[in-house]
Amino acid sequence: MRIWDIPPKNLCQLHLLGEHRELHAIWTILTQNKMGYTHHPETLRWKNKLHALYNRHSLLVSEMKRRGYHHKSDLDKRLAIGSTKQTKFINSLEEQVEILKNKKCKCNV
């Protein structure tokens, strides 16, 4: 599971859509008290930061639509509580860029 901190416009199709899918999984875990991946570091870093996660989702959706995707999985804004900004990182932005570079995908990093 990974929510990147890199601007969505820089992500390749695979990472953009993959992040969107994983963001929904984290959202469901945190808003519906699901047990799967509750202790995963990526899930834990978004605990009490649902507003920030909602904002990240909005950025992903904007980029998906820009690329011609039809988005049909909105999040419930009423559940977007907590901090509006993510300040906790598993990997620094520089490390995330290196991770993506090493994947040799089409991400523009």
22-71 pLDDT tens trace? 999 999 999 999 988 999 999 999 999 999 999 999 999 999 999 999 99
**pLDDT, average across residues 97-107:** 96
Q: Is residue 108 part of a domain?
A: no
**pLDDT, average across residues 59-86:** 97
Q: Is residue 76 part of a domain?
A: yes
Q: What are phi and psi of 16, to 5 degrees?
A: -65, -50
* DSSP H or E run through 12: none
Q: Is residue 109 part of a domain?
A: no
Question: Which DSSP state fits 57?
Answer: H
Counting residues of the chain whose pLDDT is more than 90, the rounded percentage is 96
Q: Is residue 1 part of a domain?
A: no
CA dihedral (33, 55, 1, 20) positive or negative: positive
Check pLDDT > 90 for residue 1. no
**pLDDT score at 36:** 85
Q: How far is CA 52 from CA 8, 25, 39, 93, in A?
A: 15, 15, 19, 17
CA distance 24 to 57: 9
Mean pLDDT of the chain: 97
Number of domains in the chain: 1
Q: Is residue 87 part of a domain?
A: yes
Tell me which residue range forms the domain holding 70: 8-103
Q: Is residue 51 part of a domain?
A: yes
